[in-house]
Amino acid sequence: MTSRQDIEAALKAADARLDALKAQIETSADDKLLDDGGKWSVRDCLSHVAAASNIGAAGQRALARLNPPAAPAAPAAGAAPAMSIDERNQAAIADRASKSVADLIAEAKAGHTASLEALKGWDDAALAQQIPDAAPGRPAQSLAGNILRFLEYHEGGQMDRIEAALHVRGRWA
């Protein structure tokens, strides 16, 4: 079972990874990622990481799946339609357009700090609760496992994309 200490260690490792890559990201921020046909730059991907860095919020969303509303709330009259995931990602990138790489890294690390604080608010029983997966067909897992997976899979995967682009630049620069 995933422990509180596993999550704490993963958050510290994520901070160390950001620190280790900072100088390379600053010099290669406009380089395109390798796996999306030039859609995102390294900086765009870092903006996405910063926007999603508070995994405590991911934990709250996971807990909300335990007690879903009986019926989805109807949108308010005149409300804008819900944004797609791509639209939300692009909005997060646009919201951070004026931030420097150092600011984005600081934001991501602040999200990790907020996550550590949220983690303190969950007792071991809450962390052990089995949460239905957001994707149909995948088995339920503990809240702690859900949080750790989000950090390692989502943020870690985005950082892998950044590192791949940085590696190519360094190799053929």
Q: What is the residue-wise DSSP string for 85-96?
A: HHHHHHHHHHHT
What's the predicted TM-score (pTM) here? 0.86
- Give the Cα separation of 110 and 18 in Å (integer): 12
**What CATH number was assigned to the domain covering residues 4-66+85-172?**
1.20.120.450
- Give the Cα separation of 59 and 66 in Å (integer): 11
Per residue of the chain (173 residues), give pLDDT as tens: 899 999 999 999 999 999 999 999 999 999 999 999 989 999 999 999 999 999 888 888 888 877 776 666 666 666 667 788 889 999 999 999 999 999 999 999 999 999 999 999 999 999 999 988 777 888 888 999 989 988 999 999 999 999 999 998 666 55
Q: What number of other Cβ atoms are within 10 A of residue 32's Cβ?
A: 17
What six digits make up the tokens of 104? 């984005």
What six digits make up the tokens of 59? 């934990």
